[in-house]
Amino acid sequence: MGSNASPKKVALIIASTRPIRAGPEVVSFVHKILLTSPISPSPELSIVDVADFNLPVFNEKILPAMVPAQGQFEHEHSKKWSAAIAPFDGYVFVSPEYNFGLPGGVKNAIDYLYNELTGKPILIVTYGIKGGSVSSESLERTFTGMKTRVVETRPQLSYAGPGMAEMFAATGTGKLGPNTIELWEKEGTEPLLKGFEQLVTLLETPVPEPAKSE
């Protein structure tokens, strides 16, 4: 990237939408770690909160893949969410896991999008009792199917034990416990920085041209 080029812009997305949620603190932790990256030049990081958009269950008549080439969204919430996501060059998508699966609100927010994301790199970060591994796998399938470039490293942040006390405390108060923060600093820093480095590499790598049919 040339010295006069504008820095790339990356959205750090809080995907959880519960009224009381650990998501903002998780993203704050991730943000803090990414800011320690030695990568230069580093992209600009901006936090985007899905909960701010109050998205109902997807209710547009037109499919997102058809916007804007074949039509426009009808509802203001759809337009605002699309407009907030589209300008970024890449994304760090941070999601919880509920009942061994991807939360419905997270999938719903993604279902409003398509062309805003196509071809762009996405770093998937999940958290939960087992690091949100099922959510991570589900997001990888979804984003790959949407023709994004998913970063190979997918950090998975597990709540600290013993038992599930810190998980329940986080989901009930929105605050991460000290044992969990210590665990993430010890075991989560390396994969977060590795994934971020891979994301930045993809930001600087042109999207491959589609193969031409004979």
Ordered domains of the chain (ranges, CATH): 9-203 (3.40.50.360)
Q: How large is the angle between the packed helices 133-145 and 104-111, nearest 10 degrees? A: 10
Determine if the pTM surpasses 0.85: yes
Residue range 31-79, pLDDT digits in tens:
999 999 999 889 999 999 999 999 999 999 999 999 999 999 999 999 9
**pLDDT category, 2, cuts 50, 70, 90?**
very low
* Extended beta strands in the chain, E state: 9-14, 44-49, 90-96, 121-128, 149-150, 156-158
DSSP state of 101: B
